[in-house]
Amino acid sequence: MNFLNLLHQQTQQLQGQIRSLICPKEDSVQQRTLPLKRYQQLLYANLAYHRALETALTHQAPYLPGYDQLLQCRTPYLVADLLATGAPIPQDYPAYFESWSSWQLMGAVYIGEGLATEATEVCEALKQNPLVPPMARISRFFSAPSATHSLATYVTNRAEGHEDEVIRGVQQAIELYSDLTDPSDRDPSDRDASDRPTQSLH
């Protein structure tokens, strides 16, 4: 099995978990409506994830030659969506990925792009809730085009020898996203350092 197929297999196995995080079975989104508070929680979780990821990618840019970071820039969409709901914008910039290597970050990017696969369900559920402000019923974040194909091409062409790091990044990104979307979990920023990938300059 080539690396791209392995990466696809890994992410496919995790898609069910992503779906359950965004649209839990007990959540009314399954009934084609999405409460405003739940939607705001999703936006806050994704804002924390993508702010941390984009900051880490900027720091690791010298080790990712040819990678177009603008393809993965999602925070402007999330800020716009939160403002449309009337929610305040957090001023903190988490550092969840500060110790991740450049190739582990590619795994996290792959998961971040995969979240767009739930756009149809989220956007449709928003439209069915009359309590959601009209300007907020079309989510910029969940409607943004996915850059998964470009990312897969980049990783396939550049990640030789770093495949395990990318896969590890995929797996740990799911754990982090689970922490962010589950308020019963401890704050991911309080994780022990042993839970995180080690820093690498390659």
Name the architecture of domain 3-188: Up-down Bundle (1.20)
* Token pair belonging to 108: 């996290």
Is the pTM higher than 0.85? no
The answer to whether the CB of 109 falls within 8 A of the CB of 72 is yes
Annotate 91-156 with DSSP letters as a single string. Answer: -----TTTT--HHHHHHHHHHHHHGGGGHHHHHHHHHT-TTS-GGGSS-HHHHSPP-HHHHHHHHH
Domain boundaries, the chain: 3-188
Single out the residue of 44, 61, 40 nearest to residue 109, CA to CA. Answer: 61
DSSP 8-class letter at 186: P
Write out residues in the chain with pLDDT < 70, as ranges.
1, 10-32, 116-119, 183-202
Q: What are the distances in angstroms from CA 128 to CA 22, 36, 61, 66, 160?
A: 17, 11, 41, 42, 46
* Token pair belonging to 196: 């995180």
Per-residue pLDDT tens over the stretch 117-172: 656 777 888 888 888 888 888 889 988 887 888 888 898 888 888 989 998 998 89
